[in-house]
Amino acid sequence: MTERLWSLVEVLSASPTLAIGLTLGAFFAGNWVFARMGRPLWLPPVVLAAVMLSATIAILSLDYARYQDGARWLTVLLGPATVALGIPLYQQMHHIRALWRPILCTLPVAATLAAVYAVVIAWALGATPEVLASLAPKSVTAPIAIGITEQLGGSVPLMMGGLLITGVVATLFVDLLAGLLPVDDERILGFALGLNGHAVGTARAFEISHTAGAFASLGMGLTGVFTALILPLVFHL
């Protein structure tokens, strides 16, 4: 009986349903705990959900590669979801038109510095070239960042880790600095969230408002395109 119970995980994980069910379950559980904790800014629901999901995978002694295989049924939707960001972008076009000059001036400087700051600090602390290449695209949305890291010769899992941490801390720092500087223009906050914190920041911006979300989508998209074009050139210098 116990033996059959244990082999259950093995059998069920042969189909993607288990991975999808676990991910969905952790997503709702993360949101629930987040609400119960009084929505703390320093602990976004995505981190709560990821911790619970990792713990569950470890407890079930489910092979991570196998989980990842099943979860691909969810992650393939990232492509169409990225396309979907074009719709709020279009709906907020009048706001974006009004600010196109500040946006175009800020983008190249901020997107370059987002990579340069991290690489220079890590280099000064003695990180290897492989680690530097994994950190460089830290502010770029995952599907683009994977391409950049492979091109630069970095490690994709290390990059994904850096990407998540960057997204979470960028969200925290935007909220923190918004109060300190102060900046209350939700268009600026949204743009900063998308530029520095990619999809995690954009998800946060949509919580602020539709306008902030549209500016975050814009920041994320422009940073992705700009970094993908510039970084491989700069990195080889």
Partner 1 sequence: MPMLRGFLILVLFFLFGEALRLVFLIPVSGGVLGMIGMTLTLMVKGSVSDSLAAASQGLISVLVLLIMPGVVGVFFTADQFSGQWLAVAVALLVGTFLSVLTTLLLMKFLVQGRNRSQAND
Q: Give me the phi and psi of 180, to 5 degrees please.
A: -80, -35
Which segment (6-14, 35-43, 111-119) binds partner 1 by CB under 8 A?
111-119
User: Is 15 one of the binding residues for partner 1 (CB under 8 A)?
Assistant: no
Place of tokens 């600095």: 177
Tokens of 31: 């949101």
Region near partner 1 per CB under 8 A, out of 2-10, 35-43, 95-103: 95-103
3 or 184: CB nearest partner 1 = 184
Q: Which of 47, 56, 22 is nearest to 169 (CA)?
A: 47
Q: Confirm or reject binding of residue 129 to partner 1 (CB under 8 A).
A: no
Smallest gap from residue 10 Cβ to partner 1 (A): 18
The site for partner 1, by CB under 8 A, has a size of: 106
Concatenated DSSP letters of 173-192: HHHHHHHHTT---HHHHHHH
**Shortest CA distance to 191 belongs to which of 168, 208, 166, 169?**
208
Q: How many beta carbons lie within 10 A of that of residue 95, not counting itself?
A: 15
Restricted to residues 51-90, the positions that interact with partner 1 (CB under 8 A) are 51, 53-54, 57, 64, 67-68, 71-72, 74-75, 77-90
Q: Is 42 in the site for partner 1 (CB under 8 A)?
A: no
Q: Could you tell me which stretch among 2-10, 35-43, 116-124 binds partner 1 (CB under 8 A)? A: 116-124
For tokens 């925290």, name the residue: 172
CA distance linking residue 60 with residue 56, whole number of Å: 6
Task: Please say which residue, 12 or 160, places its beta carbon nearer to partner 1.
Answer: 160
Q: Is 136 helix (H, G, I), strand (E, B) or coil?
A: coil
Whether the bond between 182 and the residue before it is cis, its omega within 30 degrees of 0, is yes
Give whole-number Cα distances, 183 to 59, 101, 186, 211, 231, in Å.
44, 18, 8, 15, 29
Is 99 among the residues that bind partner 1 (CB under 8 A)?
Answer: yes
162 or 208: CB nearest partner 1: 162
Rule CB under 8 A: is residue 16 a binding residue for partner 1? no
Q: Which of residues 147-206 bind partner 1 (CB under 8 A)?
A: 147-148, 151, 155, 157-158, 160-166, 169-170, 173-174, 177-178, 181, 183, 185, 187-189, 191-192, 195-196, 199-200, 202-203, 206
Q: State in angstroms the smallest separation of the CB of 165 from partner 1.
A: 5
